[in-house]
């Protein structure tokens, strides 16, 4: 059976939700366009063994909306979208599947640009790119976005440290990095180089052992994160890690990490603030990867990419100052900034 695209009922406030299926290639994917108000939708493709189609729809819509906010905040002239492929990346992924996914992206005629996310590598994107002009983050072009994400998070972490601890010096600070994947391991290296007391956790034992031996990190079992005392918590695994319960137990004063949708629900922001924990909104601090991808979409130079990356930390600094001056939560300040931008007409990057 050839590729079929079916428009599903889109949730209120979303532009499009498409189911892409190609049985021969083993592809079942969902592509969500949240907003193209500021430009074509852009956001990575995640592969995950979702328990149901509903679970995949829940994830792709949350992630697509997050991309609208992230891309607007980073000033990229891009809207928000995301794709998820249902399946186990280690077991089910094939070049044929990625090529079928590329055909699905191409069928959307440039309204959606795709790149890597959890479970998808630059090599996978290269397969997709044989079928679409709208796959980026390719080796030989802007490359893996993860190191850019890690660098952006690290710069924001230092800005946050300045506000919370009075200096951006991380020497001696206890920093727990949760998730030692493409972004988390790179962030852990930077944190260790800055002289912090690095703590790490991952469900992958080998990744923890590597960080312990190579970076001198203390390891923490994945289910013991919220029993630890630390200064800075850097969630770099999956989203939803901060719930009412975990936010109540978290032994940190600053949260700054790469994972998307760290707050299980918006009200967790108030719980963190009430406990004196400064939360740096995920979509603001983790924009480095999409900035890198945007440089490829728009054909911008490395200098543009670096300039945009540096701007993230400046924006976090402004956001923290406004939150302190107004008593509002950092998430409310950030969302307010974006909602103002979204009311603006489309403009070039
Ligand atoms: P990855 O798949 O390379 O790494 C994720 C890591 O988290 C893996 O090592 C995995 O074993 C670990 N993990 C999963 N569940 C865990 C748990 N319960 N406890 C501890 N560890 C756990 O993914 P990545 O590309 O490094 O992305 C990490 C996060 O950052 C994701 O939420 C992703 O959406 C987000 N993000 C990534 C980028 C990027 O450029 N890659 C950009 C923006 C946001």
Distance 103 CA to ligand 1 centre (A): 26
pLDDT value of position 102: 98
* Phi (first) and psi of residue 178, to 5 degrees: -100, 115
149 C-alpha vs ligand 1 centroid, how far in Å?
A: 11
Q: What is the pLDDT of residue 345?
A: 47
Question: What CATH number is given for 146-287+316-339 in this structure?
Answer: 3.40.50.720
Q: Do the beta carbons of residue 210 and residue 177 sit within 8 Å?
A: no
Looking at ligand 1, which atom is closest to the CA of residue 201? 20
What Rg, from alpha-carbon coordinates, does the chain have?
19
Helix extents (H) in the chain: 53-73, 95-107, 122-129, 146-165, 182-193, 205-215, 244-249, 268-274, 282-285, 288-298, 302-326, 330-342
Where in the chain are the domains?
4-68+79-129, 146-287+316-339
- Same topology, domains 4-68+79-129 and 146-287+316-339? Answer is yes
Question: Which residues are known binding-site members?
Answer: 179-184
Based on the residue annotation, tell me whether 109 is a catalytic residue of this protein.
no
Which pLDDT score is estimated for 343? Answer: 78
Architecture of domain 4-68+79-129: 3-Layer(aba) Sandwich (3.40)
Distance from the CA of 260 to the center of ligand 1, in angstroms?
Answer: 9
- In order along its 349 residues, the chain shows pLDDT tens digits of 599 999 999 999 999 999 999 999 999 999 999 999 999 999 999 999 999 999 999 999 999 999 999 999 999 999 999 999 999 999 999 999 999 999 999 999 999 999 989 899 989 999 999 999 999 988 888 888 899 999 999 999 999 999 999 999 999 999 999 999 999 999 999 999 999 999 999 999 999 999 999 999 999 999 999 999 999 999 999 889 999 999 999 999 999 999 999 999 999 999 999 999 999 999 999 999 999 999 999 999 999 999 999 999 999 999 999 999 999 999 999 999 998 888 754 444 4
Query: CA torsion sign, 241 to 246 to 247 to 252?
Result: negative
Ligand 1 site residues, Cβ closer than 6 angstroms: 117-118, 145-146, 149, 178-184, 201-204, 207, 222, 236-239, 258-260, 286, 289
Residues tagged in the binding site annotation for NAD(+)? 179-184
């Amino acid at each position: 059976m050839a590729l079929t695209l079916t428009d599903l009922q889109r949730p209120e406030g979303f532009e499009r939700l498409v189911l892409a299926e190609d049985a021969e290639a083993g592809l079942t994917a969902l592509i969500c366009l949240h907003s193209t108000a500021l430009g074509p939708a852009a956001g990575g493709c995640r592969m995950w063994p979702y328990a149901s189609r509903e679970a995949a729809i829940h994830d792709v819509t949350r992630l697509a909306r997050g991309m609208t906010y992230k891309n607007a905040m980073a000033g990229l002239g891009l809207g928000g979208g995301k794709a998820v492929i249902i399946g186990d990346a280690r077991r089910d992924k094939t070049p044929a599947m990625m090529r079928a996914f590329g055909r699905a992206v191409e069928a959307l005629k440039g309204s959606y640009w795709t790149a890597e996310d959890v479970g998808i590598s630059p090599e996978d994107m290269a397969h997709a790119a044989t079928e679409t002009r709208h796959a980026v983050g390719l080796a030989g072009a802007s490359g893996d976005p993860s190191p850019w994400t890690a660098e952006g998070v690290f710069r924001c972490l230092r800005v946050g440290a300045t506000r919370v601890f009075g200096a951006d010096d991380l020497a001696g600070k206890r920093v727990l990095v949760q998730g030692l994947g493409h972004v988390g391991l790179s962030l852990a290296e930077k944190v260790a180089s800055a002289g912090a007391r690095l703590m790490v956790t991952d469900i992958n034992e080998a990744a923890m052992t590597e960080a312990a031996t190579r970076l001198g990190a203390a390891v923490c079992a994945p289910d013991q994160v919220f029993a630890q005392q630390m200064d800075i918590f850097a969630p770099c695994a999956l989203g939803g890690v901060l719930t009412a319960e975990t936010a109540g137990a978290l032994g940190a004063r600053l949260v700054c990490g790469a994972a998307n949708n760290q707050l299980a629900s918006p009200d967790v922001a108030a719980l963190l603030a009430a406990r004196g924990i400064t939360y740096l909104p995920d979509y603001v601090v983790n924009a480095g990867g999409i900035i890198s991808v945007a440089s490829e979409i728009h054909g911008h130079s490395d200098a543009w990419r670096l300039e945009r990356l540096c701007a993230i930390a400046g924006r976090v600094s402004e956001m923290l100052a406004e939150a302190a001056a107004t008593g509002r939560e950092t998430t409310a300040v950030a969302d307010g900034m974006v909602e103002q931008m979204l009311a603006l007409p489309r403009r070039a990057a």
